[in-house]
C-alpha cells in the first residue's frame, strides 16, 4: 500500500512514475541500478502488463536485470542493442549543472557505459539528492584488484593538488570482505566533502593506473526528474532550459506495492 511508504520512498516513486512516461513502444532503454531505479523498473513493468508497452531494456547490473525480467520487461544486452534511445537512472548527488555522483550501488561502470551509449539520459531522484557542490556523498572509484593499494596511494597523493576539502579514501567492504562489482573489481570510496572542479577531478582520476572508472558523470545527464514526498514532480531539462512541475496522486491499491 502506498500509504505505508515513507516520504522519501513516495518521492522516489513519483519521480520514477513520471520518468516512465518518457518510454515509448519500440525504444531501447537503459535501466539504472539503485532504489529509485528499482521503482522505475516496477512502474515500467506495470505499463508492460497493463497497457501493452513494448520496449527492450538494457540493465546496468545483474540486480536490475533480475527485477526487469520478474516484472515482464524484455531484457537484452548493450551489445545486442548497440545504441539506446534513452537511459533512466538514479543519482547519489546532482548539482545545478546536472553533474552527478553515482555508484553508491556499486554499478558505476556499467551505468556510465550505458548512459553514454544513449541519445538521452534522464536522472530520477528525490529532492534531497540536489546539492550546491558535489562531494558530500563519497565518490566511488572502481579499481582492478591487482595492486589496489598502490592505486589507493596514487589517488591520495593526487588529491593533494585537487580542489577538494577531504582526502580520505577507503576500500568498500561487503561484511569482512572487499565489495566485488559485476566486473570483479573493487571500489574505493573517496570522502572529499566538497569537489571544487568535478570535471578536472574526473579526468585526472581516470589517468591513474589501476583505475577503471569513477562515479562523476559530467555532461551526460539531459534531464532530472525530482520527486517530493507530497507527490509533486519537477522536471528540469538542461538542454531546453525549462522547468515544469506536475502533481501525481497515489493510488492505494496500486499493484506496485503488493510486494512491499
Q: Which domains does the chain have, with CATH numbers?
A: 2-130+219-257 (3.40.50.1360), 139-214 (3.30.70.260)
Residues with active-site annotation? 111
Q: Which residues of the chain have pLDDT under 70?
A: 1-3, 250-260
The 8-class DSSP code of residue 33 comes to -
On average, the pLDDT of the chain sits at 95
Grid cell in block for residue 63: 540486480
The DSSP line for 34-77 is: SHHHHHHHHHHHHHHHHH----EEEESSHHHHHHHHHTT-EE--
Q: How far apart are CA 178 and CA 129, in angstroms?
A: 27
Q: How far apart are CA 126 and CA 15, in angstroms?
A: 7
Three-state SS at 171: strand
Q: What is the pLDDT of residue 137?
A: 98
Q: What is the pLDDT of residue 4?
A: 79
Three-state SS at 126: strand
Smallest CA-to-CA distance from 107 within 94, 121, 90, 123 is with 90
Q: What is the pLDDT of residue 249?
A: 79
The 8-class DSSP code of residue 30 comes to E
Q: What is the pLDDT of residue 5?
A: 86
Annotated binding-site positions for substrate: 33-36, 89-92, 102-105, 129
Q: What is the pLDDT of residue 260?
A: 42
| Region label for 98, one of left (φ > 0), alpha (ψ between -120 and 50) or beta (otherwise) | left
Amino acid at each position: 500500500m502506498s500509504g505505508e511508504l515513507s516520504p522519501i520512498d513516495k518521492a522516489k516513486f513519483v519521480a520514477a512514475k513520471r520518468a516512465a512516461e518518457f518510454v515509448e513502444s519500440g525504444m531501447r532503454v537503459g535501466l539504472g541500478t539503485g532504489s529509485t531505479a528499482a521503482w522505475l523498473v516496477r512502474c515500467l513493468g506495470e505499463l508492460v502488463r497493463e497497457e501493452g508497452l513494448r520496449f527492450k531494456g538494457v540493465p546496468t547490473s545483474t540486480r536490475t536485470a533480475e527485477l526487469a525480467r520478474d516484472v515482464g520487461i524484455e531484457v537484452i544486452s548493450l551489445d545486442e542493442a548497440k545504441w539506446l534511445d534513452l537511459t533512466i537512472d538514479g543519482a547519489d548527488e546532482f548539482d545545478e549543472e546536472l553533474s552527478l555522483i553515482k555508484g553508491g550501488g556499486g554499478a558505476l561502470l556499467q551505468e556510465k557505459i550505458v548512459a553514454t551509449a544513449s541519445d538521452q539520459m534522464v536522472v530520477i531522484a528525490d529532492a534531497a539528492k540536489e546539492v550546491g557542490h558535489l562531494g558530500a556523498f563519497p565518490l566511488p572509484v572502481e579499481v582492478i584488484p591487482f595492486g589496489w593499494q598502490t592505486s589507493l596511494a596514487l589517488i591520495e597523493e593526487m588529491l593533494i593538488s585537487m580542489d577538494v576539502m577531504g582526502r580520505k579514501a577507503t576500500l568498500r567492504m561487503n561484511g569482512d570482505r572487499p565489495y566485488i562489482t559485476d566486473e570483479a573489481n573493487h571500489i574505493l570510496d573517496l570522502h572529499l566533502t566538497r569537489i571544487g572542479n568535478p570535471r578536472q577531478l574526473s579526468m585526472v582520476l581516470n589517468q591513474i593506473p589501476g583505475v577503471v572508472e569513477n562515479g562523476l558523470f559530467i555532461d551526460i545527464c539531459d534531464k532530472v526528474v525530482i520527486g517530493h514526498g507530497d507527490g509533486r514532480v519537477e522536471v528540469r531539462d538542461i538542454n531546453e532550459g525549462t522547468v515544469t512541475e506536475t502533481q501525481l496522486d497515489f493510488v492505494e491499491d496500486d499493484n506496485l506495492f503488493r510486494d512491499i
